[in-house]
Amino acid sequence: MRGLLAFLALILLWSLLAEALLRSPLGDFLPPSVGADNFQFDLKTHYLEQFIRRYGRLDCLIVGSSMANSGLDPLIIDQVYTQETGQTLHCFNFGLSALTMASGGDIARALLRRYQPHILIIVLSARDFSIEYGDLTAPLLQTAWVRQNLGQASLEGWLVNYAGGYRYRLALQYWLRPENRAPFLQEYHALTRQGFSPLQEFRDPPVNFPAFVDFSPAQSAWQGFESIQNQPETVVIFVEAPIQPAYRQIYLETPQRYEQRFIQPVQTDLAARNIPFLRTVNLSNSLPADFWYDSLHVNSRGAPVFSRWLGGQLSRLSPQGLSH
Min mean pLDDT across 55-64, 259-268, 279-288 is at 259-268
pLDDT at 14 exceeding the cut of 50: no
- Name the band, by pLDDT with cuts 50, 70 and 90, for residue 48: very high
Tell me how far apart the alpha carbons of residues 125 and 215 are, in angstroms, rounded to a whole number.
Answer: 11
Average pLDDT of the chain, as a whole number: 85
Tell me how far apart the alpha carbons of residues 145 and 140 are, in angstroms, rounded to a whole number.
Answer: 8
**Residues 221-238: tens digit of each pLDDT:** 676 776 677 677 889 999
Q: Which residue has the higher pLDDT, 258 or 92?
A: 92
**Residues 241-272: tens digit of each pLDDT:** 999 887 776 666 667 778 888 889 889 988 98
pLDDT at 9 exceeding the cut of 50: no
Whether the CA torsion 153, 155, 161, 162 is positive or negative: it is: positive
pLDDT of residue 295: 87
- Name the band, by pLDDT with cuts 50, 70 and 90, for residue 203: confident
Residues 150, 110 contacting (CB under 8 angstroms): yes
**Residues 285-303: tens digit of each pLDDT:** 999 999 999 988 999 999 9
Please name the residue ranges forming H helices in the chain. Answer: 2-22, 39-55, 66-69, 74-85, 101-115, 144-149, 155-162, 164-175, 178-190, 220-223, 226-229, 248-252, 255-258, 264-272, 281-286, 302-316, 319-322
Tell me how far apart the alpha carbons of residues 123 and 192 are, in angstroms, rounded to a whole number.
Answer: 19
pLDDT at 45 exceeding the cut of 90: yes
Min mean pLDDT across 36-40, 136-140, 156-160 is at 136-140
pLDDT of residue 7: 41
**Residues 184-195: tens digit of each pLDDT:** 999 999 999 999
SS3 label, residue 35: coil
Distance of CA 109 to the CA centre of its chain: 12
pLDDT of residue 262: 83
Q: Which residue has the higher pLDDT, 293 or 5?
A: 293
- Name the band, by pLDDT with cuts 50, 70 and 90, for residue 201: confident
pLDDT of residue 281: 93
Q: Which residue has the higher pLDDT, 306 or 10?
A: 306
pLDDT at 160 exceeding the cut of 80: yes
Q: Which residue has the higher pLDDT, 300 or 132?
A: 300
Task: Give the whole-number percent of the chain exceeding pLDDT 90.
Answer: 56
Contacting residues for 9 by C-beta, under 8 A, at least 6 apart:
none
- Name the band, by pLDDT with cuts 50, 70 and 90, for residue 314: very high
Tell me how far apart the alpha carbons of residues 71 and 242 are, in angstroms, rounded to a whole number.
Answer: 9
CATH of 62-322 among 3.40.50.1110, 3.40.50.2300, 3.30.70.270, 3.40.720.10: 3.40.50.1110
pLDDT of residue 216: 65
Q: Which residue has the higher pLDDT, 62 or 227?
A: 62
Q: Which amino acid appears at position 26 of this protein?
A: L
Task: Give the whole-number percent of the chain exceeding pLDDT 70.
Answer: 78
Rg (CA), the chain: 20
